[in-house]
A and B are shown apart, each in its own frame.
Chain A
């Protein structure tokens, strides 16, 4: 495959390895994601997909290798130098495989948490609830409502997040990521637990998010139809190693990928 030019690249993962005890979860993995594309990471269970996500977002520190994020102005940041809570300040935001919401808070409050690093509220100002703070809250709330409307769940905004069906909770998590004005959105199995209609809707939504928010999207997903439908490029991994990278078509016809998924003899659907 043709290597993309440097200025087009948003995220560059180079030779990343991480081991837990004796188990090599990710082994010398490299891939690059172009700006404003949807990039899929696929692989059988236990291939190390979520581990890579955690290495990118610094929940894990990789044993070796580097993860570089290139801003649209050309500035390059090595994410490995950052603490986990500072990654979002670079414009990188993620969702979780098992939805991580604050169950006892309302949906709108959950979404507002996503704006945490965008809001600049000094503690003393908050203590006395200054006018500036109130206006900031008001504006952020409006923005949150706009995002909830975009995802068609505005009418649910005051409901308790934990009482909502799984599909809605997943949407709330996506809404939360959008609050932070992201450049790179990392989605960990966005379609898990959704039915066919919901998955189809999700596919449209992800494409729309990419266009409307002008973001790059990296996702891990088991639903092959979704991945093949929306991704511009795909990286297939197995046992922590890259076995193939390319367009959905190339991946589908790659014998290595078929082997990893179906064993020696077989064909990928």
Chain B
């Protein structure tokens, strides 16, 4: 049984199933419907943050344009479905291919040099995109935003709010599995090697430019998927949403959740986004300190817990094994420290 639960696929599916039950719990009146909406949005952010985690956690590169690419995908999907009246599937394809193409172009131009240029280039692109979102009103609706309806699958199956939530959860589970496959094997090793030592990676035949580009491509694809889901779930897209703050939030999610951890990314998104939406914002006195809490969390994690919350699992299992007197990390059996009674202490002292 424990072996089954240790299988990552099963873990992802279990998480998915747990999330799928939320609308039922809301139906029963235990949690509010708005909570489900917040969780749905959190999952959407998790997807974009996971893409950034592949880039930052594995290859050590930074992108400050996650929100820009996410917004671009959101506007494209809204435009294709609402203005052009094309099917949802066409919108998804267009909204993933165009930003990814743009992302790869930015990557080709900036990754030939030092890795840090990607951060600068993506920041520039995101700012340009933001100007486009505000000013090209025929495409984006300008400051009043673009509207989008819920997805209509295969042209006849129109999803309602809860069904869209299911779709988001399913997409999340699939993406978790695919990213797990990619990062646990050949490509994950190449990315790790690159981050660990560029020289060694090159000597082992790893084409640094190629793998950096792949990592950035994955980040852009996931940001795009996330943008598409966002606009069809929330229903609208404002230019003010896609600013640098959001991109930095994704970084914060990774710092708090844990580098290179899929579950960590989810937990990080939950803490940074859902917690403040659910617990801080409803209380008027606390609503304004939400960003402050975010900042403090980041500082605490960087200083005291740089491996993020994903590391808790390892620590707990270590602690558990030590407690049980099992083999510790060096493969030696540690004896449980016996607590001395007062009489024994006195005996020791006199002896």
Residues of chain A whose beta carbon lies under 8 Å from any beta carbon of chain B: 57, 59, 83-89, 93-94, 96, 100-105, 109, 112-114, 116-117, 119, 121, 123, 126-129, 133, 137, 176, 180
Whole-angstrom distance between the alpha carbons of A128 and B208 in the complex? Answer: 23
Contact B205 A105 (CB under 8 A): no
- Contact, CB under 8 Å: B202 / A126: no
Cβ of B181 under 8 Å from chain A = yes
Instruction: Classify the secondary structure of B's interface with A.
Output: helix
Interface residues of B in 166-201 (CB under 8 A from A): 178, 181-182, 185-187, 189-190, 192-193, 195-197, 199-201
Q: Mind listing 17 A-B residue pairs with CB under 8 Å?
A: A83-B207, A85-B207, A86-B205, A88-B205, A94-B203, A96-B197, A101-B200, A102-B195, A105-B189, A105-B196, A113-B189, A113-B201, A123-B182, A126-B182, A137-B185, A176-B204, A180-B205
Cβ-based interface call for B236 (8 A): no
Task: Please report the number of residue pairs spanning A and B whose Cβ atoms sit closer than 8 angstroms.
Answer: 93
* A49–B189 alpha-carbon span in the complex (Å): 30
**CA of A114 to CA of B190, assembled, Å:** 10
Give CA–CA (A101, B198) in the complex, Å.
10
Chain B residue numbers with a CB within 8 Å of A105 are 189, 192, 196
Contact A100 B199 (CB under 8 A): yes
Which of B's residues lie within 8 Å of A, judged by CB?
178, 181-182, 185-187, 189-190, 192-193, 195-197, 199-208, 214
Q: Name the one of A96, A102, A104, A123 contacting B214, with C-beta atoms under 8 angstroms.
A: A123
User: With A88-B203, A113-B204 known to touch, is A100 a contact of B197 (CB < 8 Å)?
Assistant: yes
Most interface-central of B178, B200, B206 (chain A CB within 10 A): B200
Choose among B197, B202, B203 the residue that contacts A102 (Cβ–Cβ < 8 A).
B197
Residues B192 and A119 in contact, CB atoms below 8 Å apart: no
**Please, which residues of chain B bring their CB within 8 A of the CB of A101?**
196-197, 200
A84 touching B202 in the complex, CB below 8 Å, given contacts A100-B197, A102-B193, A119-B186: yes
CA distance A119 to B193 in the complex (A): 15
With A96-B199, A101-B196 in contact, is A85–B189 under 8 Å at CB? no
Task: Give the docked Cα–Cα distance between A189 and B21 (Å).
Answer: 60
Cβ-defined contact, B205 with A117, below 8 A: yes
Beta-carbon contact of A127 and B186 below 8 Å: no
CB of A252 to closest CB in B, whole Å = 32
- A244 and B164 CA atoms in complex are apart in Å by 77
In Å, the complex CA distance between A111 and B211 comes to: 19
Quote the shortest CB–CB distance from B259 to chain A (angstroms).
Answer: 10
Cα A59 to Cα B193 with chains together (Å):
17
Give every chain B residue within 8 A of A84 (Cβ-Cβ): 202-203
Q: How far is the CB of B20 from chain A (nearest CB, A)?
A: 23
Do A126 and B187 touch across chains, with their CB atoms under 8 A apart?
Answer: yes
Tell me whether A85 and B187 are in contact in the complex, defined as CB-CB below 8 angstroms, given that A100-B197, A126-B181 are known contacts: no
B202 to chain A: which residues have CB within 8 Å?
Answer: 59, 84-85
Q: A123-B214, A126-B187 are in contact. List 14 more A-B contacts (CB 8 A).
A: A59-B199, A59-B202, A83-B207, A84-B203, A85-B206, A88-B204, A93-B204, A94-B203, A102-B200, A112-B189, A113-B189, A121-B185, A127-B182, A129-B185
Contacts of B189 in A (CB 8 A): 105, 109, 112-113, 116
A116 to B187, CA, bound (A): 9
Given contacts A100-B197, A126-B185, A128-B181, are A109 and B192 in contact (CB under 8 A)? yes
Q: What is the CB-to-nearest-CB distance from B221 to chain A, in angstroms, rounded to a whole number?
A: 11
Does A127 contact B196, Cβ atoms closer than 8 Å? no
Residues of B within 8 A of A176 (CB): 204
Chain A residues within an 8 Å CB radius of B199: 59, 96, 100
Q: Which residues of chain B are near A100, meaning CB under 8 Å? A: 196-197, 199-200, 203
Q: Which B residues are in CB contact (< 8 Å) with A119?
A: 186
**10 shortest interchain CB distances as A-B pairs:** A102-B196, A117-B205, A100-B200, A88-B205, A100-B197, A129-B181, A121-B186, A113-B193, A84-B202, A85-B207
